[in-house]
Structure 1
């Protein structure tokens, strides 16, 4: 008769850790899936149902929903910032503006549910407010790399260009006003170029 080997205490502990890590990841994935489907402020019950786990499991890992939102933000921030980074940053002003605004547009389309969910939660999350502010500063510095001409404009003009290049302005054009992606990109490029050359 084949001898059955009992798991050691260490093996049992490792198994619990792996299950815990898996459950935590299921919760975070469920939250992100719900947000990407347009549920901007999912409840703990909705997350538990999507992850196919008990709601007590959600609260065992995250004592309050803000902790869950903050962990999701921390896990995806670098990946999403990568959508803005890179690209061909050489060429004329027209070429660089075209590349920069197209890259922003593609990132904004991909990130729209996550950004809207973040906006919906800013009022109650100091961590998300801080992270969102940091991300806006990174985007501002990234635009400086695309457009060194920004060093030559007045502070007021620089702020206006930041506003025009923002998600909020993009969302107003593309979603609220139902303007196509290409037409929205063209409008933003035209406005920024007019300000740079004024």
Structure 2
């Protein structure tokens, strides 16, 4: 009987711990979505409704939190870039790829900006960011196999034009609409790839 009670108590503690852990990750993401790009442990714990000591029992430091956030959102964020109509002419595939990436960039904007704001102090974020850059490059290769035959400088230019940084500049700093930004990026990529239209 006491073994059953003890097992139940352990399971209850584990469930509470997992709920607290998820609440902390969800709170960090919510703050980022609201524009708090570098939320503190205190801000996150308050939003999650847990004490600061509870925060550090679940995550020994901010690096552990960054790893936890990445683990929770990675699949859903990567899925934003996958799929789409990858058939058709070069011109059509460029258009589809830019539209797909535009939609994804709009969804992940605040998390990317938060990551960029903290790259200087976080090995976990630097590693995750580099992994994401490699994935984006590989995904673009999948959309546009023609990229493999480009000279290196042109290929690097394609990656720069197709990047989140370019998208963010057009949308936020140059105040272009989503549609205008898509048209501009599409035109530049077509030019770099020698596509008509």
TM-score by length of 2: 0.95
Within the candidate set 30, 35, 46, 1:38 is matched to 35
Aligned residues: 194
Deviates more, 1:144-153 or 1:172-181: 144-153
Within the candidate set 174, 181, 185, 1:184 is matched to 181
- RMSD (Å) for aligned C-alpha atoms: 1.5
Q: In structure 2, what is the equivalent of residue 125 of structure 1?
A: 122
Q: Does 1:70 align with 2:67?
A: yes
Tell me, in whole angstroms, the C-alpha distance in 2 between the residues paired with 1:70 and 1:117. Answer: 14
> Which structure 2 residues correspond to residues 86-101 of structure 1 after superposition, within 5 A?
86-101=83-98
TM-score by length of 1: 0.94
Within the candidate set 131, 134, 144, 1:134 is matched to 131
Shift of 1:154: 0.5
Shift of 1:145: 1.0
Please, which runs of 5 or more residues in structure 1 have no aligned partner? none
Q: Which has the larger radius of gyration?
A: 1
Tell me, in whole angstroms, the C-alpha distance in 1 between the residues paired with 2:117 and 2:32. Answer: 11
Q: In structure 1, what is the equivalent of residue 141 of structure 2?
A: 144
Q: In structure 1, what is the equivalent of residue 44 of structure 2?
A: 47
Task: Spell out structure 1 runs of 4+ moving beyond 4 A.
Answer: none
Shift of 1:74: 2.1
